[in-house]
A and B are shown apart, each in its own frame.
Chain A
Amino acid sequence: MDFLTIKNLHHTYFTKTSATTALSDITLDVKEGEFISFLGPSGCGKTTLLSIIAGLINPTGGSVLLENQPIKTSQNDIGYMLQQDYLFPWKTIEQNILLGLKINGTLTPEKKENTSYLLKQMGLEHVRSSYPKQLSGGMRQRVALVRTLATEPKLLMLDEPFSALDFQTKLKLEDLVSNTLKNFNKTAILVTHDIGEAIAMSDRIILFSPSPGKVHKTFLVPDELKNLPPFKARNHSVYTELFQTIWKELESLDEK
């Protein structure tokens, strides 16, 4: 049995003047503990798909099941990291990371302790009572990761979480996120338009083609890369090979 099952998913956006189909006939499964990347040019409905999986949008057709159950936001099964950190500027770092627990009323001393420990692991213990604007971009995104993990979601979705960061910070964070998720044995979906990031971080890469968004092709990342941290994976010879294959596939999408 699969952990996450998406079947014949279809979504169309309606406006007064048009009906735009963002996703058409998406079927895919994710196993527990797997790290998947959604790769594709802009306009292929990646963010729409994440919003549907998160239960924020009702699809016009098809179904999404997590452990054979329909998704409900109130159950906190899903964690979602956005492109920017969206830390609340009027809350301290501590209030920000405890937000999820506070919202769903599960803020027990034990969970609070766990969250503090997570913050410590991220090397951010000293900023606990600071405000977000006092932190650098990389630090803020790490705080956002703590906030997402605090509610202990079963499935983590990362919507281009590194795209607003400088390259050095991005590489460091990739290693940190990958390492953290492996330690907690979390299932994760990463949306990205960066081929290298997809290869370095994931177990499986799903390439989408645009208008309407469809699954174009699936690439399995070889075991020798899977077991390496992202930074080391980027220097492996197999990495370059896979990069070329996916690059050509993306080029062929453009020509269509």
Chain B
Amino acid sequence: MTKNEIKSLHEQYLNKLRKEKRIVRFVQMLIFILFFGLWELASQQRWMDPLIFSSPTKIWELFIQKSVDGSLAANIGITVTETILGFLAGTILGTLLAALLWWSPILSKILDPFLVILNAMPKVALGPILIVAIGANMTSIVAMGTLVSVIITTIVVFTSFKEVDPNYTKVLQIFGATRTQSFKEAILPASFPTIISTLKVNVGLSWVGVIVGEFLTSSRGLGYMIIYGFQVFDFTLVFLSLLVIAVFATIMYQLVDLLEKKLIQD
């Protein structure tokens, strides 16, 4: 086969890839447009109750109105801050707890059944107790965002600590390394990919915790907008909040994904 023939075959292959990508993008756009188009149409033609299901144009108008008066940005700011704090606290606390369990095998044996119970328990059910204990403020919402992610982080990261090839620690022990040194030089860096991937799960979990927390207590934030819209039967407000949450949760997830690719490229 000549060079030119190979080149043209390669060209064909690339064309096939491009074509496939175009089809995927086209269908994705189609689904997006159909979804909002049908929604709008169904609402205007009264196929479904516009009072309950609102419509994209009404949501858009409300979006413009709330953007102009600045209240949307303020609410987004609060919820996103709470989520980031909850997610960072959950990840860091979970990793520290995992380090403690690794440090003391006897402690990990003692705590094992309690971790299982705490993990199985629906953490949002603790909401009312948190509010009574900490107070109806931002701290208890952040605590909620932390609580939903901390136990699962502990369990996942601890498992990855235990699964690090013992020969790495053996190499260090022969050099006379202390347990702290073994942790710092082998256990933690070897588990880094697992820790980063728990970040991705924790982003989602923290959103759950924070929104439920706002349902229960807050007078600000996106979760509050949902519950307020529900109470005054303004479902345009509910849908606006839902769409904004979808957008910001996706952005956060993508950022963590980007971070993961950056940190684990080698």
Give the B-binding residues of A (Cβ under 8 A).
Answer: 54, 56, 72-76, 78-80, 82, 84, 86, 88, 90, 99-100, 103-104, 131, 133, 151
Nearest residue (CB) in B for A83 is B167
A100 touches B170 (CB 8 A): no
A73 touches B189 (CB 8 A): no
Instruction: Give the distance to chain A from B189, nearest Cβ to Cβ, in Å.
Output: 5
Top 8 closest pairs, chain A to chain B, by CB? A74-B176, A100-B175, A103-B175, A73-B176, A80-B174, A90-B189, A103-B177, A86-B167
Residue B124 interfacial (CB < 8 Å): no
Query: Given that A56-B170, A82-B167, A82-B170 are contacting pairs, would A88 and B175 also be in contact in the complex, using a CB cutoff of 8 Å?
Result: no
A56 touches B173 (CB 8 A): yes
Q: Given A73-B175, A99-B185, 16 other A-B contacts at CB below 8 A?
A: A56-B170, A72-B176, A76-B175, A78-B174, A79-B174, A80-B174, A86-B167, A86-B170, A86-B171, A88-B189, A90-B192, A99-B172, A103-B175, A103-B176, A131-B266, A151-B175
Instruction: Give the distance to chain A from B159, nearest Cβ to Cβ, in Å.
Output: 20
Give the A-binding residues of B (Cβ under 8 A).
Answer: 165, 167-168, 170-177, 181, 185-186, 189-190, 192, 266
Instruction: Give the distance to chain B from A46, nearest Cβ to Cβ, in Å.
Output: 16
* Among B174, B185, B190, residue most surrounded by chain A Cβ atoms (within 10 Å): B174
Nearest residue (CB) in B for A54 is B174
With a cutoff of 8 Å between Cβ atoms, the chain A residues found around residue B167 in the complex are: 82, 84, 86
With a cutoff of 8 Å between Cβ atoms, the chain B residues found around residue A88 in the complex are: 168, 185-186, 189
Bound CA span A53–B213, Å: 58
Query: Given that A88-B186, A90-B189 are contacting pairs, would A73 and B174 also be in contact in the complex, using a CB cutoff of 8 Å?
Result: yes
With a cutoff of 8 Å between Cβ atoms, the chain B residues found around residue A74 in the complex are: 176
A56 touches B174 (CB 8 A): yes
Bound CA span A76–B177, Å: 10
Instruction: Give the distance to chain A from B255, nearest Cβ to Cβ, in Å.
Output: 23
Nearest residue (CB) in B for A74 is B176
Bound CA span A74–B179, Å: 12
Bound CA span A56–B173, Å: 7
B171 touches A82 (CB 8 A): yes
A–B Cβ pairs within 8 angstroms, 22 of them: A54-B174, A56-B170, A56-B174, A72-B176, A73-B175, A73-B176, A76-B176, A79-B174, A80-B171, A82-B167, A82-B170, A86-B167, A86-B170, A88-B186, A90-B189, A99-B171, A103-B172, A103-B175, A103-B176, A104-B175, A131-B266, A133-B266
Nearest residue (CB) in B for A104 is B176
With a cutoff of 8 Å between Cβ atoms, the chain A residues found around residue B189 in the complex are: 88, 90
Bound CA span A164–B224, Å: 62
With a cutoff of 8 Å between Cβ atoms, the chain B residues found around residue A86 in the complex are: 165, 167-168, 170-171
Nearest residue (CB) in A for B181 is A103
With a cutoff of 8 Å between Cβ atoms, the chain A residues found around residue B168 in the complex are: 86, 88
Instruction: Give the distance to chain B from A248, nearest Cβ to Cβ, in Å.
Output: 35
Bound CA span A82–B174, Å: 11
Bound CA span A232–B185, Å: 41
With a cutoff of 8 Å between Cβ atoms, the chain B residues found around residue A82 in the complex are: 167, 170-171
Instruction: Give the distance to chain A from B156, nearest Cβ to Cβ, in Å.
Output: 20
Bound CA span A54–B167, Å: 14
Bound CA span A159–B176, Å: 19
A103 touches B185 (CB 8 A): yes
Nearest residue (CB) in B for A51 is B170
Bound CA span A75–B172, Å: 13
Instruction: Give the distance to chain B from A114, nearest Cβ to Cβ, in Å.
Output: 16
